[in-house]
Structure 1
């Protein structure tokens, strides 16, 4: 316990700040356009922004305007088949890309932590 006190007394921070800590007298909190904004203009209101916003699809679709989860049947959302060249599961891929079956030797090696390979 005494050794810890001795070590802490000589501690010097590695970061050195220049100057005195000063809080600014005035801070501007007015809204500003983000520098990477495509149109360099603030929206008039949040409602107008939401009409144009996209998040995983358009937010202003009128058929989803019920405001309730499940207000629209799932069949109206579109097809659930994967497009050409797309697959939902690895088992749907061509045989050469599917998972290989484990051999008994591989199963034994995993269960023994690899020790059975060298015994």
Structure 2
């Protein structure tokens, strides 16, 4: 009981030591600047001009796309849904040489036993 009391009475000192006093800079420059690794080294004129050139899963600045226009035109107007020559939508459409290989009994046994059957 006395040991616990003695430990609580000692002032706690942190294990980390900071150099110097806390100080907040008097002035911070918040003006926008281009990133040092920017390929052009310049800021865009406006967000609209940036969006015309930006790409994210395809072009963002399509003139035909307006957020409220989804569903106003027929799906046939978007073009054909058939894959182009040399493109496939599913693995089962590929030639047989790209198909999945069947599992052998030894592989199935090794997976089910966690590899223990290979050592036995």
For the pair shown, the structure with the greater C-alpha radius of gyration is 2
If the length of structure 2 is used for normalisation, what is the TM-score?
0.62
Distance verdict in 2 for CA 1:109–1:65, change over 3 Å: same
Q: Please name the residue that 2:52 is paired with.
A: 51
Unaligned stretches of 5+ residues in structure 2:
none
Rounded to whole Å, the distance in 2 between the matches of 1:23 and 1:83 is: 63
Unaligned stretches of 5+ residues in structure 1:
none
Q: Please name the residue that 2:38 is paired with.
A: 37
- Let me know the Cα RMSD of the aligned residues: 3.4
Are the counterparts in 2 of residues 64 and 71 from structure 1 also a CA contact under 8 Å? no
Deviations 1:3-49 (A, max 9, x none): xx69xx68733xx5433221111111111111122222222221221
Distance verdict in 2 for CA 1:62–1:106, change over 3 Å: same
Does 2:101 correspond to 1:100? yes
Distance verdict in 2 for CA 1:101–1:45, change over 3 Å: same
Q: Please name the residue that 1:114 is paired with.
A: 115
If the length of structure 1 is used for normalisation, what is the TM-score?
0.62
Matches within 5 A, 1:2-13: 12-13=15-16
Distance verdict in 2 for CA 1:71–1:24, change over 3 Å: farther
Rounded to whole Å, the distance in 2 between the matches of 1:93 and 1:11 is: 67
Distance verdict in 2 for CA 1:56–1:118, change over 3 Å: closer
Q: Please name the residue that 2:78 is paired with.
A: 76
